[in-house]
């Protein structure tokens, strides 16, 4: 039988390509991180009823359908000028916390942990989740699988459907939670809190206790001083579902705080000739190129950004861990990109704690889950925090609620400029005098992996030969070397 050397199963997700250009001395002149673009989503949506959007947008991507479902539902609420009942908001948020636990768990154990637990220099065949299990024990694998099962189960119980939830509609949700279901969800949430604590302990014992890893986190290769963005509640605590978008400057001072409908006053998009994707930046700072600092409008939107942009966590155990992280890494804000992994685990704990809080709220089983929209639909913006960054949906409709215009800024897109900067910096550090360091591929991968980029919605994937391809060019444009996996 023919030997096929592609992986068609990867097609739902992204494929990165990095071109590195060398100067006459053999050092890096520049590098470009490119990802293919998905086209025509706005055109696809125009003319459809806005209430279809929570179902339609969660088809954009197989990785975070729940985030699109929530952002779309909130935008549709805004289009109809309707405020859902408290119980509906609680149910949406509860589903969202379970999703966060699944997503953050997957990223940490399958993608982040191999670099730290197995080691960045370990043979490639061992540097994966199986290597993690081999090193730490089967128990971890079992817990990861269990966490994912519980997450899926809550999404199914509240969302009415596995993977692509179908519950949220303008004005609320369609499904009431029974007391029996509530009890089961509460029990699973308590398990999730223990799991998150276990994960943080493992991070502490394996990563923080190892000086080599701590030095890697604190090293210069993965360091950028930028602005940070995240959704916060009325007390400026991290919130994934609702609130205002807060941005802090590289010194950690609040730069702006805006309601979802004001986002266009604060965010603009820069275009580069070498990619179809746009680079969002802070309009009121301005685009100064792919550079660090207070004068550059580049911002980051990741777990670490959310922690940097907030004054703390809204749950007690997560708050303790938050304080510990900043005490260990030298105060706020933290600019070390690899600390995103640590922040992700603190968010996992917050999501699990909040899951229990929501599941034990006396109103969670109330049958009052929908406010009927009565206003004429116009325009609306919905913002949630997707695990990988602030997610903005903006819809315009005619008076019948049929879409006339759609604008989305997806989680990963926010980070396109910082990812470009991080991969560029890693390439510059590892290529000197034309000598390509063998560890380049993984060091560059580590640079962007920390951001948890998902190009499934920023773009479509191609089942390309490789998840990542690095091409190094001589100054005359000839290909010097192609590194791929």
Q: How far is the CB of 270 from another protein (least distance, A)?
A: 22
Task: Tell me whether residue 156 or residue 233 sits nearer to another protein (CB atom).
Answer: 156
What is the Cα–Cα distance from 190 to 127, expressed in whole angstroms? 31
Half-sphere exposure of 364 (CA within 13 A, CB side): 24
Q: How far is the CB of 5 from another protein (least distance, A)?
A: 5
Task: Tell me whether residue 142 or residue 475 sits nearer to another protein (CB atom).
Answer: 142
Give the position of tokens 């290597």. 131
Q: How far is the CB of 429 from another protein (least distance, A)?
A: 20
Q: How far is the CB of 323 from another protein (least distance, A)?
A: 29
Q: How far is the CB of 126 from another protein (least distance, A)?
A: 8
- Before 333, cis peptide (omega within 30)? yes
What is the Cα–Cα distance from 64 to 388, expressed in whole angstroms? 9
Helix extents (H) in 177-315: 179-202, 211-218, 303-309
Q: How far is the CB of 255 from another protein (least distance, A)?
A: 28
> CA 356 → CA 20, 34, 244, 245, distances in Å?
48, 41, 24, 25
Task: Tell me whether residue 162 or residue 432 sits nearer to another protein (CB atom).
Answer: 162
Q: In this structure, how many other beta carbons lie within 10 angstroms of the beta carbon of residue 164?
A: 17
What is the Cα–Cα distance from 373 to 178, expressed in whole angstroms? 25
Task: Tell me whether residue 150 or residue 299 sits nearer to another protein (CB atom).
Answer: 150
Q: How far is the CB of 127 from another protein (least distance, A)?
A: 6
Q: How far is the CB of 45 from another protein (least distance, A)?
A: 8
Task: Tell me whether residue 125 or residue 327 sits nearer to another protein (CB atom).
Answer: 125
C-alpha 149, offset from chain centre: 21
Helix (H, G, I), strand (E, B) or coil at 248: strand
Half-sphere exposure of 165 (CA within 13 A, CB side): 35
Task: Tell me whether residue 101 or residue 245 sits nearer to another protein (CB atom).
Answer: 101
Residue among 335, 345, 346, 338 at smallest CA distance from 212: 338
Give 433's contacts (C-beta < 8 A, 6+ positions apart).
Answer: 25, 26, 27
Q: How far is the CB of 412 from another protein (least distance, A)?
A: 8
Task: Tell me whether residue 128 or residue 204 sits nearer to another protein (CB atom).
Answer: 128
Task: Tell me whether residue 152 or residue 474 sits nearer to another protein (CB atom).
Answer: 152
Helix extents (H) in 267-414: 303-309, 316-329, 340-359, 411-414
Q: Are 98 and 155 in contact (CB under 8 A)?
A: yes
Task: Tell me whether residue 420 or residue 459 sits nearer to another protein (CB atom).
Answer: 459
Residue 469 bridge partners (DSSP)? 17, 484
Strands 468-473 and 479-484: antiparallel
């Amino acid at each position: 039988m023919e030997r096929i050397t592609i992986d068609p199963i990867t097609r739902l997700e992204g494929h990165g390509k990095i071109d590195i250009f060398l100067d006459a001395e053999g050092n890096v002149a520049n590098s470009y991180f490119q990802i293919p673009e998905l086209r025509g989503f706005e055109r696809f949506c125009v003319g459809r009823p806005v209430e279809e959007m929570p179902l339609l947008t969660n088809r954009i991507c197989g990785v975070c359908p729940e985030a699109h479902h929530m952002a779309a539902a909130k935008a549709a609420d805004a289009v109809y000028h309707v405020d859902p009942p408290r119980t509906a908001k609680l149910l949406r948020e509860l589903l969202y916390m379970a999703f966060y636990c699944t997503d953050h768990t997957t990223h940490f154990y399958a993608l982040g942990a191999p670099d730290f637990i197995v080691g960045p220099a370990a043979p490639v065949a061992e540097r994966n989740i199986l290597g993690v299990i081999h090193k730490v024990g089967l128990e971890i694998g079992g817990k990861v699988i269990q966490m994912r099962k519980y997450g899926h189960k809550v999404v199914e119980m509240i969302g009415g459907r596995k993977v692509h939830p179908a519950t949220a509609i303008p004005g609320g949700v369609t499904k009431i939670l029974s007391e029996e279901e509530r009890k089961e969800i509460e029990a699973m949430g308590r398990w999730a809190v223990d799991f998150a604590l276990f994960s943080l302990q493992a991070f502490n014992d394996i990563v923080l206790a190892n000086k080599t890893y701590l030095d890697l986190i604190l090293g210069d290769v993965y360091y950028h001083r930028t602005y940070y963005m995240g959704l916060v509640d009325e007390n400026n605590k991290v919130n994934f579902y609702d609130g205002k978008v807060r941005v802090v400057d590289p010194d950690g001072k609040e730069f702006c705080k805006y309601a979802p409908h004001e986002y266009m006053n604060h965010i603009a998009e820069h275009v580069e000739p070498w990619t179809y994707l746009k680079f969002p930046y802070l309009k009121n700072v301005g685009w100064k190129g792919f550079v660090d600092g207070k004068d550059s409008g580049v911002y980051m939107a990741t777990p670490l950004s959310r922690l940097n942009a907030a004054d703390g966590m809204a749950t007690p155990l997560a708050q303790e861990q938050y304080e510990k992280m900043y005490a260990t890494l030298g105060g706020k804000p933290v600019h070390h990109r690899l600390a995103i992994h640590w922040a992700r685990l603190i968010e996992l704990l917050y999501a699990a704690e909040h899951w229990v809080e929501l599941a034990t709220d006396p109103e969670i089983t109330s049958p009052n889950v929908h406010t009927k929209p009565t206003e004429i639909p116009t325009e609306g913006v919905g913002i949630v925090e997707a695990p990988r960054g602030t997610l903005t949906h903006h819809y315009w409709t005619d008076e019948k609620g049929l879409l006339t215009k759609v604008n989305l800024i997806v989680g990963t897109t926010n980070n396109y400029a910082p990812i470009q900067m991080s991969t560029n910096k890693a390439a510059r550090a590892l290529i000197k005098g034309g000598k390509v360091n063998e560890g380049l591929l993984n060091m560059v991968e580590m640079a962007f992996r920390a951001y948890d980029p998902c190009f499934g919605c920023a773009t479509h994937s191609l089942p390309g030969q490789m998840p990542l391809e690095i091409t190094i060019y001589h100054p005359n444009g000839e290909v010097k070397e192609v590194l791929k996996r």
